[in-house]
């Protein structure tokens, strides 16, 4: 379910439409085991260069000693300090831990010693299979040293720490994932259903009386599963609630959360047409979410969506065209004066349509202008906004080769944008 911040910028740069905030943990996970490595190193071996705090390695960093235990996969480990309790982490759980990692030559690749603060790590989403295996062997309070062979670490991936890696890990806390709902495969008979097909059931009542509007900002804890019981995202295991505007998430969330009051916990069965509609790289089919509404912030009601342009199918005869094929027409004249450059940072209001008249993105609907560097958006925007002055509103017909070039999951074909340039730096 991502991050949510700078959604307008991301939509222009990568054509995202509505999404849940699941991108956030994914980015964090990617940095789990090589946060202290410089992946821009070059040379014949392309070995990354270490950076950050260096911690003296253990005397047995080069290889596992004879008294280390070895698993069938080839992972070796040695308990340095016993833990407590019988519980061990499961793949869906997260853990809080202190850790330091080295290559076998004693180079520190990452350490929590720099901050002294524990790291929260999703067990099943670590980039190294050996790390996931090692964590599932541990108990809270336990400290172990693990020797992760290359094939269970980064397996020779370019720009990653090479060879066998050695970690000292202290497991401070297990953050248990919510159990998979027994009714994850389909909504039960006592679930309510809206006209759109969204099904829901209140798990525990709230204390509030008011409901958020579909344009308000909410803070929630949530977990999401596919109907086969696989959990794909959870703010609970990240140990941090998610906050976002309800206009920025999948339609099933935009519709469902306004049915709740503060403190309420509800289970939603969201059909695929109200979720990701089969988009590549997204959870497929019907999705099931347990959502707890922690609080919400009332925001001003946004204006109604802009009308679809009558000339959305093709640029009219009075539109101007550049050498690249970009067509444009000034709808409202600006103040004149300087115009943005390719490296300017601009603030705009905009709405975008495909040529069949379907709106796929709009800062107007979100009631929040978008600010971004012109170098970070599609070519048609980088070129087109340099033609505008502050206060101007222009319609652009951007051919596919200046838009998303047929990339899967992006708006296809020529795109039409109405853009108002508010300011630039």
404 catalytic? Reply is yes
Q: Which whole number is the average pLDDT over 80-104?
A: 94
pLDDT of residue 49: 56
Catalytic residue among 361, 396, 398, 418: 361
Q: Which has the higher per-residue pLDDT, 248 or 265?
A: 265
Active-site hit among 148, 417, 418, 424:
417
Residue 31 or residue 90, greater confidence: 90
Flag whether pLDDT at 50 surpasses 70. no
Q: What pLDDT was estimated at residue 145? A: 98
Among 340, 338, 422, residue whose Cα is nearest residue 385: 340
Question: What pLDDT was estimated at residue 51?
Answer: 59
CA distances from 123 to 87, 154, 224, 237, 282 (A): 14, 16, 16, 10, 20
Is 349 in contact with 407 (CB distance < 8 Å)?
no
Give the pLDDT of residue 367: 80
pLDDT in tens, 300-313: 888 888 999 999 99
**Residue 330 tokens, joined:** 């000034």
Give per-residue pLDDT as tens, 212-235. Answer: 999 999 999 999 999 999 999 999
Higher pLDDT among residues 304 and 182, named by residue: 182
Asked whether the predicted pLDDT for residue 290 surpasses 50, the reply is yes
More confident site: 17 or 387: 387
Catalytic site residue from 350, 372, 396, 424: 350
d(CA 424, CA 340): 6
361 as an active site residue: the answer is yes
Is it the case that residue 139 has pLDDT exceeding 90? yes
Is 371 within 8 Å of 346 (Cβ atoms)? yes
Which residue out of 9, 29, 311, 360 is catalytically annotated?
A: 360
The active-site residue out of 296, 328, 404, 424 is: 404
360 is catalytic: yes
CA angle (186, 187, 188) in 5-degree steps: 115
Give catalytic status of residue 289 as yes or no.
no
Annotation says 378 is catalytic:
yes
417 is catalytic: yes
Burial of 85 (0-12, 13-18, 19+ CB in 10 A): exposed
């Amino acid at each position: 379910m991502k991050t949510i911040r700078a959604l307008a910028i991301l939509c222009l740069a990568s054509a995202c439409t509505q999404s849940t905030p699941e991108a956030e943990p994914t980015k964090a996970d990617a940095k789990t085991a090589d946060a202290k490595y410089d992946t821009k190193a070059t040379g014949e071996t392309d070995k990354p260069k270490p950076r950050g705090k260096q911690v003296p390695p253990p005397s047995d960093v080069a290889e596992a000693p004879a008294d280390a235990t070895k698993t069938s996969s080839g992972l070796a480990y040695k308990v340095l300090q016993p833990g407590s309790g019988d519980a061990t982490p499961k793949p869906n759980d997260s853990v809080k831990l202190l850790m330091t990692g080295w290559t076998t030559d004693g180079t520190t690749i990452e350490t929590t010693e720099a901050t002294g603060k524990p790291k929260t790590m999703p067990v099943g989403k670590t980039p190294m299979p050996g790390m996931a295996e090692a964590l599932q062997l541990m108990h809270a309070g336990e400290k172990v040293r693990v020797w992760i062979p290359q094939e269970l670490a980064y397996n020779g991936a370019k720009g990653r720490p090479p060879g066998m890696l050695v970690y000292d890990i202290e497991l401070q806390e297990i953050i248990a994932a919510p159990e998979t709902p027994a009714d994850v495969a389909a909504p039960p008979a006592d679930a309510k259903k809206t006209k759109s097909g969204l099904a829901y059931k209140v798990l525990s009542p709230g204390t509030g009386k008011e409901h958020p509007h579909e344009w308000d900002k909410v803070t929630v804890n949530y977990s999401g599963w596919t109907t086969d019981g696989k959990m794909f995202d959870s703010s609970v295991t990240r140990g941090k609630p998610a906050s976002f505007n309800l206009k920025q998430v999948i339609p099933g969330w935009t519709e469902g959360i306004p049915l709740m009051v503060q403190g309420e916990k509800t289970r939603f069965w969201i059909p695929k047409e109200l979720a990701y509609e089969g988009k590549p790289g997204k959870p497929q089919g019907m999705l099931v979410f347990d959502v707890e509404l922690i609080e919400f912030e009332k925001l001003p009601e946004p204006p109604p969506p802009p009308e679809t342009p009558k000339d959305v199918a093709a640029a009219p005869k009075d539109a101007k065209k550049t050498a690249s094929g970009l067509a444009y027409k000034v709808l409202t004249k600006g103040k004149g004066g300087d115009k943005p450059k390719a490296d300017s940072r601009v603030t705009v209001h905009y709405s975008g349509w495909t040529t069949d008249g379907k709106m796929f993105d709009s800062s107007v609907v979100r009631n929040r202008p978008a600010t971004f560097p012109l170098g970070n958006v599609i070519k048609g925007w980088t070129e087109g906004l340099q033609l505008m002055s502050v206060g101007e509103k222009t319609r652009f017909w951007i051919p596919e080769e200046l838009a998303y070039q047929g990339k899967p999951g992006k708006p296809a074909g020529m795109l039409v944008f109405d853009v108002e340039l508010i300011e630039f730096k």
